Amino acid sequence: MSLTRMYGLFLRHFYLITRSFPRVLDLVYWPTIQITLWGFISNFFATHTTYYNNAVGVILTCAILYDFLFRTSIGFNMLFLEEIWSRNFTNLFIAPMKIGEILTSLVATALIRALIGLIPAVLLTSPLFGISILDLGIFLFFLFLSLYLFGITLGVLVSAGLLRYGPSFENIAWSTMFLLAPFGCIYYPIEILPELFQKIAYLLPLVYIFEEARNILINQTVDIQNIYNAFMWNGVYFVLSIALFYYSFNVAKKKGTLINMGE
């Protein structure tokens, strides 16, 4: 056993980490997010033990909704990352495709990918747990549409980062959903968050979507305002993400990221 050789291999990874801010962020990020998210969940269940008493399927329904969001966002990012990993990125960007065509094509493909994952999950919940997500009724469609829009928006934002900063932004691609999870109030009502976090959460469409899903399942009522707020914030972020993508494309053309993408 050679200490020098082992130290050499350690250095290979240490140098990589110190040369890349996204990698450093990645190291700090996961434990922080996990502790925050599970801290809020534990806190909620410790103080509201009877909240879910009459709605056994609420947590599972919210988990399926969140997974759909996760699949949509990651699915979009994956499509972009696949081109980088396969070193096909340059071929794609020298093809006569408008940015709008690239985005639209990826948006549609991401939807198909997410649905392929979602349908078996929805079908399995009924025989396995006696729960049907279809209990959300017609509003399920609006909730899914809203989640899809937000998932795509996050995907476009991350892809803009990949265009601008190159493959080192990849780690961020995997972690955006987890950063937002504590603010999304997926498994607990917004009141459980500290005041500052509540203010941030209200600026995201997620809190309205999950609050409404719980409202429909627990109270058997519909608050249209929640659905409206979710779409309004989705619209704002979607437009911003598209603008940022175009901006990143132009910056990448100036900085040369597009020709170095595969390296």
With CB under 8 A, what is the number of residues at the site for other proteins? 23
Residue 111 sits in the site that holds other proteins (CB under 8 A): no
Tokens representing 37? 């998210």
Among 82, 108, 126, 220, binds other proteins (CB under 8 A): 82
Q: Which one of the spans 67-75, 120-128, 156-164, 254-262 is the region binding other proteins (CB under 8 A)?
A: 254-262
Residue 80 sits in the site that holds other proteins (CB under 8 A): no
In whole angstroms, give the CA distance from residue 246 to residue 117.
30
Residue 89 sits in the site that holds other proteins (CB under 8 A): yes
In whole angstroms, give the CA distance from residue 172 to residue 29.
10
Q: Give the angle 67-70-74 at the CA atoms, nearest 5°.
A: 140
Q: Which one of the spans 88-96, 139-147, 201-209, 223-231 is the region binding other proteins (CB under 8 A)?
A: 88-96
Buried b (16+ CB within 10 A) or exposed e, 12-46: eeeeeeeebebeeebeebeeebeebbeebbeebee
The least distance separating other proteins from the CB of residue 255, rounded to whole angstroms, comes to 7
Among 68, 70, 93, 237, binds other proteins (CB under 8 A): 93
Count H helices and E strands in the chain, helices first. 11, 0
Nearer to other proteins, 91 or 132 (CB): 91
Nearer to other proteins, 189 or 262 (CB): 262
Residue 108 sits in the site that holds other proteins (CB under 8 A): no
HSE toward the beta carbon, residue 114, CA cutoff 13 A: 28
Residues found near other proteins in the complex (CB under 8 A): 82, 86-98, 250, 253-256, 258-259, 262-263
